[in-house]
Amino acid sequence: FPEMLSNPRLVPVERTLNVVMNQNVSLSCHSDAGSPPVRYTLFKRNQKVSTLNRPDLTPGLFNFTINSASDVGEYKCKAENNISSGGKYSNSLNFTLIEPISKPVLSSPTSQAKKGQNVTLSCLSENGSLPITYVFFKGRQNISPPVKMHKREAAVIFLFINSSSDFGTYKCRAENSFRNNTKYSNGFNFTLTEERSHSQPLIISLGLIVLLFIIGFVLAIPFFIIPSYKASE
């Protein structure tokens, strides 16, 4: 006896929904039970994309290319046979477009520091699919656990400048789910700020006082010499 079709299952043949631009993808639409022949129709955002006819219960394979961001919308398929009324619809699938990350930029609010000072380092990739994971380094040694950012914001770490060895070259690394796309930042170095001696301001102040005294003395000379000269005449 003719049998109605079961609800079809729509699955990615590559077993992942993460895609890159210009990638070829395949979707399989399959009803496990029902009387053949079967007609499979693929929809993208409720718009018909393609139709396939199968004489038996083998899956319908839909092949297409991700050409733009609009190609990662919602997909569904419909299965119909000679006795189905309106057909049966599958689950929905949504592709995620993966974009490679750009080279991260490592920066700090200040490029000068002194011993005993707290400083910050920020690492940011302007482009690339989220989330992005950042790791900070000094030389070749990592100085932070992985920092995963789910927003387009910089990863920030706080450092304490304790010795001269803390003035080495810093870098950061960024990566996301795009395969083989790890990027390293520019190098960043803090410049040691020399601390002024506590006696230096005192010396400067004394020098100014002496200079003002000399200027005052020179300006006062005419007031003493001229009256004395007139008194002697």
List pLDDT tens digits, range 39-60: 999 999 989 999 999 999 999 9
Q: Are 35 and 41 contacting, i.e. CB atoms less than 8 angstroms apart?
A: no
**What DSSP letter does each residue of 220-232 carry, written as one string?**
HHHHHHHHHHHHH
**Annotated domain spans of the chain:** 9-98, 105-192
Q: What tokens does 178 get?
A: 């795009």
Q: What tokens does 12 get?
A: 């990615």
pLDDT (0 to 100) of residue 199: 46
Q: Which pTM value belongs to this model? A: 0.61
Superfamily of structural domain 105-192:
Immunoglobulins (2.60.40.10)
Superfamily of structural domain 9-98:
Immunoglobulins (2.60.40.10)
Q: Could you tell me the pLDDT band of residue 179, with boundaries at 50, 70 and 90?
A: confident
